[in-house]
Amino acid sequence: MELNIVEKLLMNNPIRALVHRHFEARRLLSLGGKTNGGLALETGCGQGIGVKILQDVFKVQRVHAFDLDPRMISRARHQLRDREDSVNLWVGDVTAIPARDNTYDHIFDFGAIHHVVDWRAALKEIYRVLKPGGRIYIEEILEKYIVHPIFRRILEHPQHDRFNLQEFVQGLQETGFIVRGTDQFMEMYAWFTADKSEPAG
């Protein structure tokens, strides 16, 4: 589901970019640590600030990133115009990622999955394209925020079958992930890191 105009204004401004880099990404960094370079995927990349954070803070080498909204991808192309050698952007849906199984070393999601009606299908697709031994870094918005009377009125989110921290952990585990770390703020925002195990033997 694309963002309504209010959420677009909340997402695409310089203050959010600072909070994204210095607060949100730090929570994930303290849970999952830096990467060892490699190829990362970002789902629902919005205007592209997250891609910069992946490279500058998490030390990812190359990034593939997509968003459902073509206008977000236009903004991201402009935002990332000096990184085009290491960044590949497209319009796409997290429930149908155009990549082979086991493609990515790391996968990042900054707040896209709660916009997906079938969020478990998104987790399955992320699991499919992550390499064995790879790690996911997820920041998500919990049900308490989504059903809050004020946010419900001004923002547009799927309302049915949302998740709290424990339900999202269960979704990750049922998909096959090994959950490594969780954190939450006001029971509204949550951070998760989890791994796809290497095949035995």
Which residues in this chain contact ligand SAM in the complex, by CB under 6 A?
A: 1-3, 11, 20, 43-46, 49-50, 67-69, 72, 93-95, 110-112, 115-116
- Measured from the CB of residue 83, what is the shortest distance to ligand SAM in angstroms? 16
Give the count of alpha carbons within 13 A of 48, CB side only: 22
Nearer to ligand SAM, 89 or 116 (CB): 116
Cβ at position 179, least distance to ligand SAM in Å: 21
Residue nearest to ligand SAM (CB): 46
For 178, residues 6+ apart whose C-beta sits below 8 A from its C-beta are 194, 195, 196, 197
Which lies closer to ligand SAM via its Cβ, residue 35 or residue 95? 95
Choice between 14 and 201, CB closer to ligand SAM: 14
Closest residue by Cα to residue 180 from 161, 196, 159: 196
Compute the least distance from the CB of residue 45 to ligand SAM, in Å: 6
Looking at the Cβ atoms of 98 and 132, the one nearer to ligand SAM is 98
**CB 165 to ligand SAM: min, Å:** 18
- Closer residue to ligand SAM (CB): 115 or 199: 115
Residue 171 CB, nearest distance to ligand SAM (Å)? 16
Task: Return the number of other C-beta atoms located less than 10 Å from residue 195's C-beta.
Answer: 16
Radius of gyration over alpha carbons of the chain, in Å?
Answer: 16
